[in-house]
Amino acid sequence: MNKRLLGSLALSVCVASSLPAFGYERDTHYYLTFYLALQTTCFKGWESWVLASADWSQDHNPTTASEISIVEIVRNVLGQRPHVPNQRRWHAFMESGSEEERSKRQEELWARVEREDEKAKQLVYLGQLLHFVQDSFAHRGYEPGLGHGLDTLLGNDPDMLREKEREMDMVRATLDVLLRTCDLLKRSHASKEELEKRVEPLMDMLIRPGRFSRRTEDLRAVRRNAHRINQAIEQSARNVASHCWATAGLIPDPLRVRYDKSGEPISLTAITVQVDASRCLG
């Protein structure tokens, strides 16, 4: 193995061990998803809580996280196709020219939502689908294996809200799935055009173009965005279904949804107990 390859391998291992290839950060996968679900006027507060929590939880279970191991990094550096099923199944990492595979997987995830009759499980499935849809924008152009590790290391993490056109496309795709679910449930909802008009000023506040030089700057931006989305929910409470989080001006912490190796939720009872114990059942 030549020096150049050894150098690449060493750098890859450093990146992989310190910068896992998650999807969009918590401000998108949880707070923004929660906000968009409420704005549809179709989902109740507790339903928005569950589906947004399921979306966020995809990155926080070893069974569904975007896995990277030293073995896969070596395969990637050697130019071999890495075996990283979670990246394909849950985080929309695909080889160049594999849009058909991405679309097929998205429809498979939609079919789970469509077939499920149990409400809590259906909401969890919806959250998992939304995670995949959102990641398809953050991860476009990155192949399985190392993913966007190097770009993240160099201050250009695609999981941050940085590009207006891309982020609005992601919002539209998220709304498409939410409204498709509203139609499935035979519930009335706000129009997509109205929702886009409502959310665009918020996105202008959340997006920060350019590169960040340190990970701490990324994390500060995520916290700032979470605060701004909380404010947006409080200000728009009169426009959405009644829920005490809006009047309190604070979105609750996400529920921790746990998944088995096949991606099936295994903590539905615990989730139901937490929802029932909450004061916010609107």
pLDDT tens-digit readout, 177-207: 999 999 999 999 999 999 999 999 999 998 8
Mean pLDDT of 86-90: 78
Task: Report which of 248, 244, 253 is spatially closest to residue 231, judged by C-alpha positions.
Answer: 248
Tell me what percent of the residues of the chain surpass a pLDDT of 70. Answer: 66
Top pLDDT among 157 and 138 is at 138
Domain limits of the chain? 19-65+95-143+155-277
Across 26-35, 62-71, 112-121, 208-217, the highest mean pLDDT is recorded for 112-121
Indicate the pTM of the whole model.
Answer: 0.81
Top pLDDT among 53 and 97 is at 53
Mean pLDDT of 211-222: 67
Residues 6+ apart with CB under 8 A from 78: 5
Among the ranges given (121-130, 158-167, 189-198, 208-217), the one the predictor scored with the smallest mean pLDDT: 208-217
Distance of CA 177 to the CA centre of its chain: 13
Residue 225's pLDDT band, with cuts at 50, 70 and 90, is confident
User: For residue 230, what pLDDT is reported?
Assistant: 83
Residues 6+ apart with CB under 8 A from 135: 23, 24, 90, 91, 92, 93
Q: What is the DSSP string of 204-221?
A: HHH---S--SSHHHHHHH
pLDDT tens-digit readout, 259-282: 999 999 998 888 888 877 765 544
Tell me what percent of the residues of the chain surpass a pLDDT of 90. Answer: 40
Asked if the model's pLDDT at residue 63 lies above 80, the reply is yes
Top pLDDT among 241 and 182 is at 182
Contact 31, 225 (CB under 8 A): yes
pLDDT tens-digit readout, 102-146: 889 999 999 999 999 999 999 999 999 999 999 988 777 666 655
Across 39-48, 88-97, 234-243, the highest mean pLDDT is recorded for 39-48
Using alpha carbons, list the distances in angstroms from residue 136 to 14, 92, 129, 166, 253. Answer: 25, 5, 11, 11, 25
In angstroms, the CA 119 to CA 254 distance is 18
Residue 5's pLDDT band, with cuts at 50, 70 and 90, is very low
User: For residue 20, what pLDDT is reported?
Assistant: 47
